[in-house]
Amino acid sequence: MPAALSLVGLHKSFGAKHAVADLNLEVEAGRMFGLVGPNGAGKTTTLSMATGLLRPDSGTAYVLGHDVWSDPASAKALMGVLPDGVRLFDRLTGKELLRYIGLLRRVPPDTIASRSADLLDALGLAQDGDTLVVEYSAGMTKKIGLACALIHAPRLLILDEPFEAVDPVSGEGIREILRSYVKGGGTVVLSSHVMELVENLCDSLAVIAQGRVLAAGTLDQVRAGSSLQQRFLELVGFRANTEGTLAWLQSSSS
């Protein structure tokens, strides 16, 4: 069985900046996989290249054996994507948006209607299905984006910061949806800054910084006896705030 997601030699530069540098990564099918890294590590750039949103300078990505860049139709049919910061058609209501995305994904209208109701309910948006998406809060927008990623029942879900701006109750709802999705044979790849969340939810992960993989494997392999937070700080090279830094912020200095 091919990997759910395979990234092979992905490279992307913006001018002189190597955002992602010859990155290789395999995510086995059935995994709940976390991609973690500090700000600017290259997570969004990596996931954008993996999902066909940003063309790599070199390298490619395979979804269940289908090349995202040479056979995009086959690869994209198998994945659901929650991109970071990509505009939705927000002059539609939540229900209309789900219908539109469902039809694009060739889901029969009756199935779209029943899945939409299930998704809106599961994500705590049942009362908001007839509200324009432009009127949604940041967390509600994230949740309708997740519903759009799920409407065609994909085999692989790629989620960029799915918990950002989401309240704790909705966050638990999303975690439940993702756990049952993986139990049913799906694969999730998600990026996050929150180590505790990744430690509780994911069974495997990769730590990236400066566009490179610093560690990858199962949760236990990567954390190697420490907490994930501790291991993450060691890997990315945390520098403690030295005495005197920002001294001007201390009220006693004025």
Q: State the minimum distance, in angstroms, from the CB of residue 36 to ligand ATP.
A: 9
Q: State the minimum distance, in angstroms, from the CB of residue 18 to ligand ATP.
A: 8
Pick between residue 55 and residue 106 the one whose CB is nearest to ligand ATP: 55
Distances (CA, A) of 34 to 68, 188, 216, 217: 20, 8, 10, 10
Q: Which of 142, 144, 121, 118 is nearest to 131 (CA)?
A: 144
Residue 253 DSSP code: G
Pick between residue 54 and residue 219 the one whose CB is nearest to ligand ATP: 54
Pick between residue 43 and residue 95 the one whose CB is nearest to ligand ATP: 43
Q: Which residues contact 81 (CB under 8 A, 6 or more apart)?
A: 51, 53, 149, 157, 158, 159
Q: State the minimum distance, in angstroms, from the CB of residue 250 to ligand ATP.
A: 28
User: Using the rule CB under 6 A, is 165 a contact of ligand ATP?
Assistant: no
Pick between residue 43 and residue 143 the one whose CB is nearest to ligand ATP: 43
Give the whole-angstrom CA distance, residue 13 versus residue 36: 20
Rounded to 5 degrees, φ, ψ at 51 are -110, 5
DSSP bridge partners of 132: 93
Q: Which of these ranges, 11-19, 117-125, 214-222, 237-245, lies near ligand ATP under the rule CB under 6 A?
A: 11-19
Binders in 121-150 for ligand ATP, by CB under 6 A: none
Pick between residue 43 and residue 231 the one whose CB is nearest to ligand ATP: 43
> Amino acid identity of 43?
K
Total site size for ligand ATP, rule CB under 6 A: 11
Kindly give the pairing relationship between strand 79-82 and strand 32-36: unpaired
Q: State the minimum distance, in angstroms, from the CB of residue 55 to ligand ATP.
A: 12
Pick between residue 6 and residue 46 the one whose CB is nearest to ligand ATP: 46
Q: Are 19 and 42 in contact (CB under 8 A)?
A: yes
Binders in 15-74 for ligand ATP, by CB under 6 A: 17, 19, 37, 39-45
Query: Interface residues with ligand ATP (CB under 6 A)?
Result: 14, 17, 19, 37, 39-45
